[in-house]
Amino acid sequence: MSESFDAVDIIRTKRDKGELPSAEIAWVIDAYTREQVADEQMSALAMAILLNGMTRREISDWTGAMIDSGERMDFSSLSRPTADKHSTGGVGDKITLPLAPLVAACGVAVPQLSGRGLGHTGGTLDKLEAIPGWRADLSNADMLRQLEDIGAVICAAGAGLAPADKRLYALRDVTGTVEAIPLIASSIMSKKIAEGTGALVLDVKVGSGAFMKTLEDARELAETMVALGQDAGVHTVALLTDMSTPLGLTAGNGLEVRESVEVLAGGGPQDVVELTLALAREMLEGAGVTDVDPAEALQDGRAMDVWRRMIAAQGGDPDADLPTAKETHQVLADTDGVLGRLDAMAVGVSAWRLGAGRARKEDPVQAAAGIELHAKPGDEVTQGQPLMTLHTNTPERFDRAVAALEGAWDIGGADQVQAAGSIVIDRIA
């Protein structure tokens, strides 16, 4: 068949800082999905977008074309409203695990389509797969049934959701164009809009352990994604949250599940509870539920009840022992004082090297590998006290994991420690 446009002309337009017409954007995404536009041509276009940017209209059209490459899910048959959350990823970010059952316990259905970890950021599905028997793959019909019956589902996205994104994401990964904000935003939002949720809350991380290192970049990404959601008729809000320090006291799959269960039991680290409640309140408000306090559902056991049912519905045993590592190694404080800084990226890379993460999509992960923190910034420590415990089944990994922690923390006087602020830096709507 003859094609409507020429990929080279489209590349030249964006190379020369021009604005792509809607029809050309729709064609190039469709033609790339049909393999009529070559990888090297899409690579050139992605680089031109990275260097020259896109207008709000272009990004909206690009996102719409990605959505149109596959199916759209429909939750209108459910007896309750829907809300979802997306995090841009960080270290120790286990928030989805307590958040989904918490919001469901408050009367809003949560269709949480999640992914696996790559590099220093953990994946929600990897964490849940530490639970014996739990399975990530559900059919759309199974997902709908579980949402109606239990109110929450965390599962893998089906292959039919924005298939153009799958091809383009892999291409960006190997062509130095991952950082293009229009492409990041359209990648995330095409899947979330196609998912069909009524309200969406975005947790955009900023700091050393985040994809966005600066507040300026995080704000631009958040504003772009909120605009895309609004253009698509989805109630969308973003929170900018601090990822300079790991979230909670664990980084690693099984370790983070254990900590999430502690939160659902009414305990857990203060920062994890704070962020879980902040996101829950935004999701409930977006879905029109304003007369329920999610903090009460954490304390009275309702959220835990939903968690147990949600895990069991996907084949998991909520009472099973989580995997424990065969080997551990303690990292000790080298002096007395107050822990002033604990670098999230260093902890994330160390956990990755222990086996908690993967370098390629195909790599396996160790369910028991990771890092347990014994102190956070602001805590007093003494020389020889354990700062963290490293967990792995393969002790030959310890040397490289310890090397990743070189210079990862500062211990000083109390006068050198800044008072901890809220984990939520800003709200964008």
Which residues are designated catalytic?
Answer: 86, 165, 172, 187, 191
In whole angstroms, give the CA distance from residue 356 to residue 130. 11
Q: Which of 259, 268, 210, 267 is nearest to 239 (CA)?
A: 210
In whole angstroms, give the CA distance from residue 187 to residue 69. 12
* N- to C-terminal Cα separation, the chain: 44
Surface-to-core class of residue 313, CB atoms within 10 Å of its CB (0-12 exposed, 13-18 middle, 19+ buried) = middle
Q: What burial letters (b/e) apply to 157-192, b meaning 16+ CB within 10 Å?
A: bbeebbebbbbbeebbeebebeebbbbbbbbbbbbb
Q: Are 282 and 428 in contact (CB under 8 A)?
A: no
Q: Which of 29, 8, 28, 17 is nearest to 53 (CA)?
A: 17
Q: Are 292 and 284 in contact (CB under 8 A)?
A: yes
Nearest 5°: phi and psi at 17?
70, 25
| Tokens at 104, concatenated | 């469901």
Q: Which of 359, 385, 387 is nearest to 371 (CA)?
A: 387
Q: Are 28 and 154 in contact (CB under 8 A)?
A: no
In whole angstroms, give the CA distance from residue 374 to residue 389. 8
Nearest 5°: phi and psi at 200?
-140, 130
Reported as type and span, the H/E element at residue 285 is helix 270-286
Q: Are 243 and 207 in contact (CB under 8 A)?
A: yes
